[in-house]
Amino acid sequence: MSDPIPKTYDQWRHCITVDCGIPLTANFVTERLAVWRDEHAKETRRFRKLYGDDHWRAVLGWFEQAERELS
C-alpha cells in the first residue's frame, strides 16, 4: 500500500482534486491560505501537531503554487 500522505505537489493536487473531489478554485485556495498562513489558527496548530512543521510548510507551499497557477 502506498503512503497516503502526499510528498510532492503533483501527489497533493491529485489527492485534493481526484481523491477528495475538491476543485482547486481561486476562492478555495485563498480561503485555505488564510488558515495555513495563520500560525495561531486552531486548525493550523492541530495540523502542525499531527504532521509536523515540515509537512505544514510543504502544504503551504503547494497552496501558494496553486495560487500562482490560478493567477
User: Residue 50 belongs to what domain range?
Assistant: 9-70
Looking up cell 478555495 gives: 28
Q: Is position 23 within any domain? A: yes
**3 is a domain residue:** no
List per-residue pLDDT tens for the chain, 71 residues long.
477 899 999 999 999 999 999 999 999 999 999 999 999 999 999 999 999 999 999 999 999 999 999 99
- Largest Cα separation within the chain, whole Å, is 36
What Å distances lie between residue 22 and 2, 18, 41, 42, 46, CA to CA? Answer: 21, 7, 22, 22, 21
In a domain, 59, yes or no: yes
Looking at residue 1, the DSSP 8-state letter turns out to be: -
**Within-domain flag for 1:** no
In a domain, 61, yes or no: yes
What's the total number of domains in the chain?
Answer: 1
Does the residue 29 lie in any domain?
yes
Q: Which residue has the cell 502506498?
A: 2
pTM: 0.92
